[in-house]
Amino acid sequence: RKNNGHIPRPKNCFMAYREHMQHKVLAENPGMNNKLVSVIAARMWNKESDDVKQFWKDRAQQLKLEHKMKYPDYKFAPKKKSQK
């Protein structure tokens, strides 16, 4: 994707987890596409303990604070498909 000054949304807990697990999944399955990585990461996420999920929720909060410091004027404003 082209950036064009677009500010990305902060990662939620699953997206932070998926990004972390992507390296493990790709190491075990070289050449796998992102769609399948997401499917595998989702299955792994659903099997994780509450403690692990809480760790990633806390991490997402930390990422959100970092995002707020980096982009203080950011406000999520979704666009309809026709506006993209």
**Pairwise CA distance, residues 11 & 18, whole Å:** 10
Residue range 28-37: mean pLDDT, rounded: 92
CA 54 to chain centre: 15
Output the pLDDT for position 83.
Answer: 64
**Pairwise CA distance, residues 63 & 56, whole Å:** 10
All residues at 6 or more sequence positions from 34 whose CB lies less than 8 Å from its CB, including other chains:
none
**What CATH number does the domain located at 13-72 have?**
1.10.30
pLDDT digits (tens, 9 = 90+) for 38-67: 999 999 999 999 999 999 999 999 999 999
**Pairwise CA distance, residues 80 & 53, whole Å:** 31
pLDDT-above-90 percentage for the chain: 71
Which of 61, 65, 15 shows the shortest CA–CA distance to 42? 15
